[in-house]
Structure 1
């Protein structure tokens, strides 16, 4: 029997043949050269028109969680604007083809989230290309491990905060005038916001900031009928992990510390974003939805 997101299955045995391998890619990393391949839901995600007619902007949409979310949104009936780095064009083109095959209008907008002007223009181009905007997914991020705060370079610290936090602020601020009641903003935080690793001080700090930003903005926008929520992934297999997101010696055991005993796949995140974007979550505001294989959170 073929599997989709509705198939009854034992989650502890899902992806039983998945064995991550030591490997290194330069930043930002590509799904095209990741071994083994991440599951983006290309062959499994089945839509049911839950986002029919919606218009979404997704950052980091070329690979990993962003790509899986884009595929799910398109198969649920949404049109999608994709933000990604120019160096990720190979991955982005593949994902765009999958979205187009699903019947979605696709707007590809490459650029660097560290660039304030790009972030603001990104929203303008998404609105023009899609004919509006009612879903914003702030997902693009930077993660580079560092063992010792004394060797954490100022530039890396600044780049991590600019990519993960400042870009979210710039994009969200630019998007707000276009969002109508019923719109949804979804930010990607992390289990690192609650259970930070000693080698990810800068990254974990940004994820805690994203979590708090989400909950504060949710209170501000709820009276306007705009819902703001977040998804907090645990260890998910993406190019981020092999482009210095984790030390090489940790790759082979990546995700085994979770109660499920394995890493998650991007395809397992996408339904959380679909839920938070859809009208099914109309009474869900300021929530952080943890998708982490069972690790306890506050």
Structure 2
């Protein structure tokens, strides 16, 4: 009769993949790195290109959706995030940060059908014409996520670009990517069309230059770049294709403060149209 030997069970180590086009592929390079005893995909240049292709394909449908529908989807993200609150806390986010992140989604959801009215306006002109300024989405926005707030900071840079009709390619913080990829799992189950948000993990110093120089990226948010030399080189690369660039803050950012309309306005283009009035 064989004896039963008690052996300690080895937990299955989770591999966090990329989030591209609404799916979770591994990096085409096959590389990973270890964070909090989990494997995290190390994105490559090819992954950046795939993410930009997915974002570009999603822009037309997302920007063409009604503002009310975009608000519904952002609110749904908040609902799903609320349901997974404990999971984010277990990953190291403070309960206060998770609550702030949920509220931030709700706040931006409420702006979806109001921002055009606030930023757009009729202009006084001489002659029998209507002259209207209408804000429109910029297109594909590349974002380097802030390192000091892995969830609230991430939400605070993604949501304002999304709510105004842009699609985004986000480079998560290298040292704290787990909350970002877990947020991607929330987005994947929140009615968000594939490609509106694409999230890559790994080294920003390796992937950000390809995002900055990519001709099909319309704007660049460098909030998470902490190296001044890297920020300058990325801005120079972006200038080659006339991208709109949001520079890193000169000091620490208080992500709990009122975000205001600045980030939404940054990634919108003002379109002016003329229309004859009367006969």
TM-score, normalisation: structure 1: 0.42
Flag the structure with larger Rg.
2
More strand by share: 2
